[in-house]
Amino acid sequence: MANKITFLGAGSSVFAKNVLGDVMLTPALQEFELALFDIDPVRLKDSENMLNNLKASVGSRCSVKAYSDRKEALRSAKYVVNAIQVGGYDPCTITDFEIPKKYGLRQTIADTLGIGGIFRNLRTIPVMLDFAKDIQEVCPDAWFLNYTNPMAVLTNAMITYGGVKTVGLCHSVQVCMPHLFRQLGIDTEGVQTKIAGINHMAWLLEVTKDGVDLYPEIKRRAKEAQKEIHKDMVRFELMFRFGYYVTESSEHNAEYHPYFIKKNYPELIERFNIPLDEYPRRCIRQIEKWKTMREELVNNKNLEHTRSREYASYMFEAMETNVPFKIGGNVMNTGLITNLPKEAVVEVPCIVDSSGVTPTYVGDLPPQLAALNRTNINTQLLTLEAAITGKKEHIYHAALLDPHTAAELSIDDIVALCDELIEAHGDWLPKFN
């Protein structure tokens, strides 16, 4: 292995700046090559220019190299960062939203679970398994850091069927408690937390300060906050009903459960402040923003960077220096959460050092939380089954078991919707039988 960090999907310039800019600011990583790969040569060149400008302005000794050949980008890499999106906004995200709407099925983000999440998985898994083949051939001992959604299923595919040392990383664990406390006006200083579950539906199991449980105060303030419309209505409602605060945002969680987006109860959308079609709006804003941001980022000789909260550079540093660092990581459930399936990927505290990523034991989740997680795991595992076997029936099974979809549509409509989406995706999907 060489001192090489390969970034797949390097055309995501803002994210590449965060992760690789962090690397440039980390003393233990100064001798690394930052290898960039993207299927869009224009975006790849943009990121290469941006990172070379940043390297000069921060005085880093890292080298930056763009590759047109993926296998060469990966060759001898020690670490691989994955940030790809297969199909993009146009045509695939548009398809994921517009066709379900014809059936009366509305979504908010559609990148994790539900109809949108299922089809995003189905078009991404084959690409990821192609990465795995290359990795097995040219850098079999590399650690693969997956930032791409749908996190749980893609991470599972890389470990179970790709045979690659993979950990899935998501921002939601890092920002969960700070976001909640900022919203409720509580000081975060000295607060200890324990978070575990599945990606986008992990739970703030413990939150203490000096040994005192802060949940009673959190719930008291949340009750007050819930009297006015705000952006966290869904998460607070889930906390009141199930006892614990969930890591991912309200717009996400609105579509992971059968309770919030219901055509027979349209008043719920306003009551819980649910932003339907939120992800397409974000995509359009980002596309517009990039037109003006591109010049500021790509050709800015005085580009600056402050080390971000992204886990990647801290993990590389921990592995290189053997100074442990704690993360919330997505890993296979090797007996870590004892009342969730062993076939699932779970999100648990992990320790990173020179021996790699070591997940910690959690034990049983409170039964109601494990039950909610299992409703999402069912769809995740059947989506993976569909991708690996190529059997269309498992796509139907995944959709039929999705909580939001099943609460809104009949069996016949769910099957018809899947068929229409398969046809609309065309060559973005492999052939199913």
* 379 touches 198 (CB < 8 A): no
d(CA 355, CA 352): 7
pTM reported for the whole predicted model: 0.98
Q: How confident is the model at residue 393 (pLDDT cuts 50, 70, 90)?
A: very high
List residues bridging with 213 in a β-sheet: 208
pLDDT at 236: 98
What residues are annotated to the active site? Answer: 171
| Binding positions for substrate | 149
Are residues 196 and 365 in contact, defined by beta-carbon separation less than 8 angstroms?
A: yes
Report the candidate in 166, 160, 167, 168 with the shortest Cα–Cα distance to residue 112: 168
Per-residue pLDDT at 6: 98
pLDDT at 27: 98
Exposed, middle or buried, 10 (CB in 10 Å: 0-12/13-18/19+)?
A: buried
Amino acid identity of 46? D
Name the H helices within 139-261.
151-160, 171-184, 215-225, 233-242, 250-253
Identify the pLDDT of residue 88: 95
* Binding-site annotation, residues for Mn(2+): 170, 200
- Residue 389: its pLDDT value, please? 98
Q: What is the CATH number of domain 4-169?
A: 3.90.1820.10
With the CA atoms of 55, 56, 59 and 62 taken in that order, what torsion angle do they form, in degrees rounded to the nearest 10? 40
From-to residues of CATH 3.90.1820.10 in the chain = 4-169
pLDDT in tens, 130-176: 999 999 999 999 999 999 999 999 999 999 999 999 999 999 999 99
Which residues, including other chains, have CB under 8 Å from residue 133's CB and lie 6 or more apart?
162
Q: Give the pLDDT of residue 210.
A: 97
